[in-house]
Structure 1
Amino acid sequence: MVVEFLHRWLEGKTDIQWRPEIITFYTAKKTRWGLSGLEQISVQEIGVADVVLDIARMLTTPKLDRSWFEKDPKEVVQKLGTLQSELEITRDNHLIILDNTETMANNDADVRALATQVNELSRRIGRVILTSRRRELIEALPVQTENWDDDEGAEFLRKRGATLRCNSIAQAGVSTLKRYSRQLISKPIALEVFVQAAASQNNGLEAAFQRVQKMQRQDLGQFLYEDAWGRLTSDLRRVLLLMSRLGDSHDQYLFQLCCQRVGVTVAAASEAIEESRGIGSFSRIEGAPQITLSPEFYNYCVERYEITDGKREPTDDDVNWVKHRYQQFLTSAEAKVNDRALQAFRTPAARAAWKSFNEGNYPEACNYYESAVLEDAENGWLFDRYAYTLMRTRQLDAALEQSRKATRLLPEEADTYFTRGMIESRIGDIANAVEHLDKAEALGKSKHLCELQKTYAYINAEPQDLIAAQGCVERALRLAPKDRFYSRFMEEVTRLQRRVY
C-alpha cells in the first residue's frame, strides 16, 4: 500500500503539500509471497543501524570507513545526522519508509529498543513512515488503511496489466476487472499476483484467478502470519487454534469459552489479536461484541496443531467441550427472567446468568456474568446483580469491586448501596458498611433491612462488637412490618440471634 502511494505521489496523481528532496525506502522483509509461492529472501537480523548505514552509503560511498561500524545504534544515527548537516540535508526534506518493522524485533526488550531507535531516527534524520504487522510501541500517527473498493481494485489491475503487458487484462472490460477484484477482496498483494499469473504465458483471467485462490490457501497465511505466530505463547496459539475449529466468527461468550478451556484470560487473548495486526478484528453486531478471524489467518490455523507434552492440541474433546457449553448457554439465554431488577438482564449472557443463579449453579452464573458485563458495560443493575452473586460465593473482594461500579453508574439507587453495604458488612468493614446502608435508607430502602445488615458488620469486624450487633437486631425487630416477607426476615433474624446472644 505504501509503495503504491509513493508511485501515485511521484506520478502526480496524489495531491500533497510537503515534498521531500530525498525518499529512502528500506524493507526488513524476510519472506515474500508471489507467483513462485512463499520464498525466503533474507535470514539476516536487521536493525535501525543497518538502515542508517544504508543511507550513509547512498549519500557518500558504498565503502564506509570503520568508524561507522564501531558505534551503537544511537551514536550511528547521530553520525548520520552530522553527515546530513554537512550535505545540507535537513530532517524536513528527507522521508524514510521502514517496511515490515515487525521482523526487526523478536521479544519485548527488542521492541522497546526498536521504538527508541526509530524515535531517534525521526528526531535527527527524517520524517518516518513505518509499516508493521505488529502494534509498535512508538508514539506515532496511525494511518487507517481502508479496503480498496471495486473501482480502485480495477484501476490497479489495469495499471499493473499495462506495465506487465498482459493482454488478458488489457482486453477485459471494467466490470470483469471489478468482479475479479471483488472476489480477491481487493487485497493489493493478491491483485498483484493475479496480474502476474495472468501475464505469465498469457494465461486467461479465470485460470489466473484459480491459481491465486489455490496459492492463498496454501501459503499466503504463512507469509502474513508466521512472524506473529512465533511471538505468541503456546497457550495463546492454542486459543486461536481452538477458535479456528469452531469457525471464523465468534461472539463474546464463545470466545470466552475457548479462553476458559485453554486457561487464558480473555484480556490476554484480546490483546494478542489486537497486537498482531491482521489476525482478526473486533466489532459490534446489534450491540454485542464479535471477533472475526481474517480469511487468510483462518486458513492458516484450521489445519495446524500445537504439540503439548507429545499431544496434538486442540483435541476433539476440547472442541466438543466448547460446543456443549455453548449450546447450554444458548438454551439458558432464552430463559424468562423474573427479578426485581429486570433492567439488569438485557443480554443473552445476563439471562443465562440469572437462570444459573436460580438453579443454584453460582460458578456458572459468575462465568455468564463475566461475559454479560463485557457486552453491557454501562448497566449498573447488571454489576449490582453480579456483585450479589459473587457475595453468595464468598468472593468478597471481587464482589465489592463490581458493587463499586454499580454505585458509580447508579448513584441515586437505594438497592445498589444496599448491596454494597451488605458486602462490606461481610468483610467486617464497619465504617463503610454503615455509611452505605445509611445511604440506601436515605434513598428509600427499608430501615429494618438496613439495620439487620449492619449486624453482620459488627459480627465480622476484628474485634467483634456484639453489643452493637445486638442493638441492630433489636432495632430491626422493632421496625419490621408484618408483610409477606416477614417469615423470611425472621429466619435471618433467628440465625443472627444465635451468633450475637
Structure 2
Amino acid sequence: MKKLYLKTLSDLPPSLSPTEEVNFLTSVMRSILQVTALVALELHISEIPEDELDVSRFLRRMEQPSDGTPIEVIEFLLPLLRSYIDRNLCLGWYKENSFSKSLAKQLNEWVQFRNDTTAHGILSQKEASIWAPKSKALIHSSLNVLSGLIPSYESKTNELTSYDINISLPLVFKNKPVVIRKVKCQRSIWTLNGQMLSLEDAQRFTTELTDSSIFSKPYIESTDQYVASSDISIEIDNSRHSFIHNIPHRQTYTFEGRRRELSKLTDWLNDEDSRACLVFGDGGFGKTTVVLEFLNNLLEDKVVIDKPSPLVISFFTAKMTRWTDEGLLHLKGVSDAMDECIRELIKAFTPVLTKDWYESQGDRLIQKAFNFLKEEGLSRDDVLFIFDNTETLATSTNEVEDLGDFLQAVTKKLGRMIVTSRRREFINATPIPIKGLNELECVSLLQRLAKENHADPLLKAGEARLRRISQSLMYKPLLIHTLVKHISRTKSSIDEAIDSIFKKSNNELLEFLYEDAWARMTALQQNVYMLLVIAESPLDHFSVSEACKIMQIPLTEFHTTFDETYFGSLTNHGEKFSIELEELSSRFFNKKIKDLPEDDKHILESKAQGLDTLVGNFHKIEEEYELDRVAEAFRNSYAKAARTAVRKENYPEAKEYYDIAISEDPMNSALKDRFAWFLYHKIGNNKAKLRAEELWRDSIELNENNCDAIVNLAQCRYRNDDLEEGDNLLIKAGALSRSQSFCLLNKAKARYYYWSRNKGIEKVEERLEEAMFLLDNASKTLRNRDKYYAKTLHEINFFKVKLKKIKLKL
C-alpha cells in the first residue's frame, strides 16, 4: 500500500493552489493514520494475549474516527506490538535513535493545526502556504516510520497482509487507498462506508464486512453447519463461556421494542428448573424474529446470564420438506419432521451421519441420541433446542397431541427447548405471548376479527381506511377488539362505533370487556380471581399457583384465561412470574365479591387468610438464600456505583468509587479481585498494573480459595515473564475448580508469548517445545464436561497450528 500512497502524491497536479493542496493532503494523512491504526488493532487481536489491554473502546471510536483517534490507538498499542511482534516496529514514533523530533509529536501538531483551521476555523492562504510543503513532508515521514503497519497489497488477488496476517478490512478500493467515513452494524451485519482517495473522483462506497473482521463478532472457522461461538462474559464471575451453535442471523435490520419479551427469555434461560419455553402468538407478530434477536444478542454478549449456557444450541425450522440426494422430499406427518431435528443435533458432533441414524425413528431415535450424548459426556442440561413454527407440523387434534408428546419426551431426555408456535402447544412450558402490533399488523387483525365476528362495515373498508382506524385507536389491541365487538353486536357503522367507544368512560368500557370474559369462565376460575383479590399477598408465581391448588384447577388453566383477557399484565421470569391487575379490573372483581351470598364470601375470606400465611412463609425462606459471588463483590453501594460507572466507561469515576468501596469493605476478597481486574484490563498503565497485582495478592490472602483471583494473578505473572510463579498459581487453581486442560493450555500460551517477547535470547526456542508438549497434554486431558470446553478446544487447535508454522520457519 505504501506504493499506492506514493503514486497518489506523485499524481498531484502542480497547478493546485496551496489551499487545495493542504485540503487533499489532509485526506491522504487521514487515510494513512486510519489504515495503520486498524492494522495495529488487527495485529493486537491476532497476536497479543487476550485481555492484555482492552481495545474495545478504540474499536468503537474507529467506527467513526476523528483525526486524533488513530494517533491514540497507535500510541496505546505500540509498546505491546514491539514486545510481541517486532522490537523495531515504527522506529521514530518516539524520540529515539537519530530522530530529532518524534513522529507522534509532529502528528499531534498536525491535528491541532487541522482543528484550528479546516475543522473549526478558517484556512488562510498564509497558513496554507506554510502547511502545504509541511504536510507533504509529514506524509513522507509517516510512510517511513509507520511502514511496518502499512500492509502489503497484492492487486491481482486484492489481498492485504501484515506480518503474515491477513487483513480482512477493505482498505483498498479500485486500487486506491480509502478514507473511512463510518463503520456500522445493522442487526448483526457490519458495513463500511468509505471514499476512494482520489482528487478527480472521490467515489463513495459501502461494503459488507466479513465475520472475520475486527468489527464483526468473530466466529471460529468451521466447515460444518455448526460453529463455536465467541466466548461470552458471565457477569457473576467474569469468566468466559463458549458453545457450539447453528443459530441463524437476525431476520430484520429494524428490530424495535420487545424489551419485555427479551427480558422474559433471559429470565427463562437463567431458570434451570424450567425445561421448556413457549413463544406463541398469531402469525406475523414476529415470534421467530424475537427469538433470533435474543439468540444473536446472546452471541454478542448482550444477555446477562447467571451460569454457563448449554454447550450446544441447535436451531431447527419445522418445515415439511427436506432436500436430499434424491431431490425434494416431502415429510409425512409429525414423526418424520421431528425426527429430522434430532439428526440435526447429532450433526453438531458428526457432520456426516451413518445409515443407522436414518433407520431409527420416534422414541428409538430419541433414546439413541440420548445414549450418544451420554457417551460424549453431555447431559440434558447441556443442550438447548429451538423449534421454530411447530404449528406447521400438526393440524388435527391427534397430531397436535402427538407433537406435544414428542416435545415433552425431548425435554425429558435430550435438552431444554424454546418453541415458537401460533398456538398453545400441549407441553409444560413457560409461556411468552407476542402481542405487540404495528400498523400493518393492526390492519391484519382488524380484517381477521371482522371476518370472525361478521363486522360487515370493517370487511368492506379498504386498507387506507383500516390504517386510519388503527391510528385513531392508538394501535392498542384492547380498543381494536372493542371496536369489532361493538360493530358486531350493535350492527352500527364504523364512525358510530368509534364515537360510542370514546364517549364511554373507562369504567364502562372495561366493564363491558370484563363481563364478556367473565361469562366465558367457569365458577372455579372465577373463584381464583376473587380469592387473589381478597388476599393481601403479592400476585406472583407462588400465590397464583397456591390459589389454583386451593380451588383445584391447573395453573395452565389460569394462564389460558388470563391471556385471553385484559385483566392486567403478566411479567414472566422463566417458570416464575408476577401479575399486576388493572385498577379497574380489581374494582370489577370486588363488585363480584360483594354480589356473592354471605356464606360463600366467608369461605373465600377464610381461604384467603390461609393463602396469605403460605405465601408469607415462602418469601421468608427465599430471602434466606445465599448470595452469589457478584453480590459478594458488590454488596455495598459504592461497589455497585463502581460497576455502573465501568459499564458507562467512565473509568476515572469507577476508580474513585472502587477506592471508596475498598475502604468501606477492606476484607472483601471478591471485591479486591474485581477492582484488580478493572485496573489491569481497563486502565492498563504500569501504575495500575502494579496496584492490580497487589490487590490480587491481598484477595488471595483474604480467601485462599478465590480461584478467580488466583488465575488472574497467574496471568499477571506470566506477562511479567515469571513462568515459575504463574505455573504454581495454576497448580493451585487446578486443585480448586479449574480443569487440568484449562491449566495446561494457559501454561502453553504463557510459553508461546514468552518466546514472542524474548526472541533472540539464547535457548528461548525451548519454550516453544514446552508449549507444544503442554498443548498435547491439554488435548489428552480435555473432557466434554470441562468448563469452557468449546473455547479450550478451539484455543488448543489454534495454538497448535500457530506453533507448527513457527517451527517450519525456524
Q: What TM-score comes out, normalization by structure 2 length?
A: 0.22
Structure (1 or 2) with the greater helix fraction: 1
Which fold has the larger relative contact order, with Cα–Cα distance below 8 Å and residues 6 or more apart in sequence? 2
